[in-house]
Structure 1
Amino acid sequence: MSTSEFDSFRPPEPAGGKRRKGKRSKRRGGGSGSDGSREMPMVPDAEFTSYYGRPVVKAPPWGHEVAAYLFLGGVAGGSGLLAAGAQLTGRKTLRRNTRLSALVAVGLGAVALVKDLGRPERFVNMLRTVKLTSPMSVGSWILSFFSAGIGVAAVFEIDRMTGERIPLGPLRPVLRALEGPAGLEAAVFAAPLAVYTAVLLTDTATPTWNAAYRDLPFVFVSSASLAASGLAMITTPVSESGPARNLAVIGAICDLISARVTEHRMDPVTREPLHEGAPGRMLEWSERLAAAGGLGALLGGRHRGVAALSGLALLAASALLRFGFFEAGKESARHPRYTIEPQKRRLAARRAAGITDDSITTAG
């Protein structure tokens, strides 16, 4: 008799053991449709789960480093846009703080990404080609171009802060000439950096992530606005943080609306992980903090202490949203029903619409 690792998943043997050879059990009593002389079918209706109760799709092997990268990419992208606005409107303190915030965030995000990849050269290998159909390939180039622009602009800010004591030598005039164009170049790639990670998640087979493919980019843009404006309100005096406060109010409203719209347009089953366990608690607190931070920025943002507390709430709301949605997707991949039940509904809808002659549906 052969054995395997799946024997523990076999259903228990019925009471009385196996039937003997040559003996056929007969049904007596003649129930409905039975004449008592023939054997009637005894197999119950099958209810599909999955083989041995195993997941249907493989859960993504990503750890918390990827969730941190999702958050830090939003901080960097939003800060890059705020820095460009401050540059064009002459707000020097806001420009400096948002440039430095973007540099730190993109640097930490790159470290988290490389840690998840395992070896730094794997990131370099992704830059050997450009594949427009791959969110990871496109995202690697977006990250690189943004980092180059914001790096040049931030280095000049640091040099200015130290009284030009950094030993740059002949590079200083070059950096001075490139500072403005580099800041605007970073702004071009700031929004894509904040949103491409949403495309990266929804392009997978993970049920909860994939179900939000139409609306998750809007949620991530709003989340990036919360993070960047919140960080600017913490680091910048209220005399120059007016644009950050305005962005915080707009971002909070858009965040709450886009999250609700996204859930409403998802399959009822695939949105269940967004309300259960640790992911549900994180997303619930994200909504509360976004609302509190937005109200604080609107009503008391001109007071330094209120502005700082509101900014902290917005920053936490953005982080909880990214981590919560990330964990909800991983949870949905562990249970077969989150894959099978939406598929059955989509198949039934196609058949009801008369689509029965393609590779997905059949007339059966």
Structure 2
Amino acid sequence: MSPKGSRGDRPMVPPADFRSYYGRPVVRPAVWTHDVAAYLFTGGLAAGSALLAAGGDATGRPALRRAGRTTALGALLASTYFLVADLGRPERFHHMLRVAKPTSPMSMGTWILSAFGAAAGVSAVAEAAPLLPAPVGRLITPLGTAGQYAAAATAPALATYTAVLLSGTATPSWHAAYPDLPFVFAGSALASGAGVGLLGAPVSQAGPARRMAVLGAALELYGAHRVETSKGILSEPYTQGRPGRLLRAGRALTALGVAGALLGRRSRVVSGLSGLSLLAASLATRFGIFEGGMASARDPKYTVVPQRERLARRAAAD
């Protein structure tokens, strides 16, 4: 019998938690290793450095241009290494260039990386023009400038296509974050490029790098906040365990980096420490996002509970 004044029967047991067979994942976790997480970082660093080089050249700051060009090429080579390491065999990268498939982020990313690489390579080689014979130097200098701006034009796509790549998978917390991951990755790329400028240029030439740091930090912190707070249960993997520690460290290092960039305008040491902080923040953020998605795929509740919630909302609407 129901208690006096109550309507219907009271539930006698609490709602059951979901458990899969033997605790096995419902969604197969991505087979990617930490080479992919490193690729996310180096790709963003290359993109941010290319934008830094273009800004330094456009405003007559040769130290910024030089730091951006050389870092863009170095980060690109590292990105290529990590990508090939993940693919397993070098020829697989070549085979992906046989076709261009607009619906495939991996296919488009391969072409973006290749186009960016050609432009950034020419741009970096042009920095050696003063060491070359005069006729060769006069020829390569304008080619380097053209390559530099071509790399800068390709940089936004290089910085953000990996966000599309992650969110296009069935990994629950990556897929749920598809509107916000591009903000995180674009901001992280700008912040890391700013870090290169703060490290590689004297304070008298670091003005554009400081402005990049502020813009990048704002985009990154906004996107990360959205990822960690607006996805319901799918935000949990980004706030717990190793992913949570990495993302919190990224936020703290970003704040320190921006503060140092703004307050250390006359100090080469403070400016350099600010640049290191921004680079470390970008690395921590990329690895935190990677680890958070992998954690959500390993736990079956992050697949089933959101599905049940969607079905309940649909039933209520009907």
Q: TM-score, normalised by structure 1?
A: 0.80
Q: Which residue of 2 aligns with 1:357?
A: none
Q: Which residue of 2 aligns with 1:328?
A: 292
**Which one of the candidate residues 261, 267, 282 is aligned to 1:297?**
261
Q: Which residue of 2 aligns with 1:137?
A: 107
Superposition deviation, residue 45 in structure 1 = 8.8
Distance 1:63 1:81 in 2: 29
Q: Which residue of 2 aligns with 1:203?
A: 168
1:157-187 per-position Cα deviation (integer Å, ceiling 9, x unaligned): 0343xx226xxx9865542331221111111
Distance 1:170 1:341 in 2: 67
1:129-172 per-position Cα deviation (integer Å, ceiling 9, x unaligned): 01001000000000000000010010110343xx226xxx9865
1:259 is the counterpart of 2:227:
no
1:147 is the counterpart of 2:117:
yes
What amino acid is aligned across from residue 87 of structure 2 in structure 1? L
1:156 is the counterpart of 2:126:
yes
Q: Which residue of 2 aligns with 1:226?
A: 191
Cα distance, 1:338–1:175 mapped onto 2, change above 3 Å: same
What amino acid is aligned across from residue 146 of structure 1 in structure 2? F
Q: Is the 8 A contact 1:296 1:307 kept in 2?
A: yes
Question: What are the equivalent positions in structure 2 for 1:242-257 lying under 5 Å apart?
Answer: 242-257=207-222
Q: Is the 8 A contact 2:67 2:196 kept in 1?
A: no
Q: Which residue of 1 aligns with 2:273?
A: 309
Unaligned runs of 5+ in 1: 1-30, 33-43, 355-364
Distance 1:220 1:241 in 2: 23
1:298-348 per-position Cα deviation (integer Å, ceiling 9, x unaligned): 122331010001111111001000001101111111110011001111111
Distance 1:122 1:173 in 2: 38
Q: Is the 8 A contact 2:129 2:140 kept in 1?
A: no
Q: Which residue of 1 aligns with 2:5?
A: none
Distance 1:321 1:119 in 2: 28
Cα distance, 1:48–1:254 mapped onto 2, change above 3 Å: closer
**Which one of the candidate residues 270, 291, 298 is aligned to 2:234?**
270
Cα distance, 1:258–1:45 mapped onto 2, change above 3 Å: closer
What amino acid is aligned across from residue 232 of structure 1 in structure 2? G
**SS of the residue aligned with 2:294?**
helix
For these two proteins, the number of residue pairs brought into alignment is 307
Distance 1:76 1:261 in 2: 25
Q: TM-score, normalised by structure 2?
A: 0.92
Question: What are the equivalent positions in structure 2 for 1:280-291 lying under 5 Å apart?
Answer: 280-291=244-255
Superposition deviation, residue 251 in structure 1 = 1.7
1:171-210 per-position Cα deviation (integer Å, ceiling 9, x unaligned): 6554233122111111111111011111110000111111
What amino acid is aligned across from residue 112 of structure 1 in structure 2? F
**SS of the residue aligned with 1:152?**
helix
Superposition deviation, residue 246 in structure 1 = 1.2
Superposition deviation, residue 48 in structure 1 = 4.2
**SS of the residue aligned with 1:352?**
helix
Distance 2:16 2:198 in 1: 58
Q: Which residue of 2 aligns with 1:21?
A: none
Question: What are the equivalent positions in structure 2 for 1:21-170 lying under 5 Å apart?
Answer: 48-160=18-130, 163-164=131-132
Distance 1:91 1:242 in 2: 10
Q: Is the 8 A contact 2:113 2:158 kept in 1?
A: yes
Unaligned runs of 5+ in 2: 3-13
**Superposition CA RMSD, Å:** 2.0
Cα distance, 1:45–1:186 mapped onto 2, change above 3 Å: closer
**SS of the residue aligned with 1:333?**
helix
Which is greater in Rg?
Answer: 1
Superposition deviation, residue 47 in structure 1 = 5.6
What amino acid is aligned across from residue 136 of structure 1 in structure 2? M
Q: Is the 8 A contact 1:194 1:221 kept in 2?
A: yes
Q: Which residue of 2 aligns with 1:179?
A: 144
What amino acid is aligned across from residue 309 of structure 1 in structure 2? L
Q: Which residue of 1 aligns with 2:9?
A: none
| Stretches of 4+ aligned residues off by more than 6 angstroms | none
Distance 1:102 1:158 in 2: 15
Q: More relative contact order in 1 or in 2 (CA 8 Å, sep 6+)?
A: 2
Q: Is the 8 A contact 1:142 1:193 kept in 2?
A: yes
Distance 2:214 2:71 in 1: 20
More helix by share: 2
Percentage of matched positions with identical amino acids: 53
What amino acid is aligned across from residue 262 of structure 1 in structure 2? V
